[in-house]
Amino acid sequence: MIHGSMATLEIFRHARQPMDLVLTDMTMPKITGDKLAIELLKIKPDLPIILATGYSVTITAEKALKMGIKAFIHKPIVEADLARIVRNTLDEGKKTP
Kindly report, residue by residue over 10-27, the tens digit of the pLDDT. 888 888 888 899 999 998
d(CA 10, CA 28): 15
Q: Which domain holds residue 56?
A: 5-95
Kindly report, residue by residue over 41-56, the tens digit of the pLDDT. 999 999 999 999 987 7
Give me the number of domains the chain comprises: 1
Q: Can you tell me the mean pLDDT for 68-88?
A: 95
Q: What is the CATH number of the domain that holds 26?
A: 3.40.50.2300
d(CA 94, CA 89): 9
Which strands sit side by side in the sheet containing 22-25, from one edge to the other?
Answer: 22-25, 49-53, 71-74
Closest to 17 in 3D by CA, of 45, 44, 51, 52? 44
> What backbone phi and psi angles, to 5 degrees, belong to 74?
-90, 140
